[in-house]
Amino acid sequence: MRNTYLWLAQLVTGVLIAVLLSIHMVLMHLDAILSFLGVDIKDPTSWHSMIERSRETLWAGLYIALLAIVLYHALNGLRNIILELAPSAATERIITWTIIVFGTIAFVWGTYVPIRLLSG
């Protein structure tokens, strides 16, 4: 039953990655299409535009959510691949805890910049 929930979370995070990454790609890299549709974004990849966006709670939250979702999706997938090769329960626990610790460190490290920019 536990693996069913993990697999469902894997599928849900895959869909969320597609949605959030699509929003990011459209708003950051398809400014010509957006201007055709009447949305005027002035050079979204410039340093000034990036700093302005990073100081908005909505964008920081979006990027932190995208980071958490991508980390879960990638590390859970990696865990499943590795566990296919390691049959013992002790090895499974070691692999699971190693991935949890690595994911936590990566998440804290990845959220430092958006949180720092929000507070500064």
Q: Where are the domains of the chain?
A: 2-119
User: What is the CA 108 to chain-centroid distance, rounded?
Assistant: 12
Listed residue (62, 68, 77) closest to 11, CA to CA = 77
pLDDT tens string 5-50: 888 999 999 999 999 888 888 777 777 766 766 666 677 777 787 7
pLDDT tens string 53-108: 778 888 888 889 999 999 999 999 999 999 888 778 889 999 999 999 999 999 99
> What pTM does this model have?
0.80
Give me 106's structure tokens. 């990566």
CATH class given for the domain over 2-119: mainly alpha
Is the pLDDT confidence value at 118 over 70? yes
Residue 2 has a pLDDT of 66
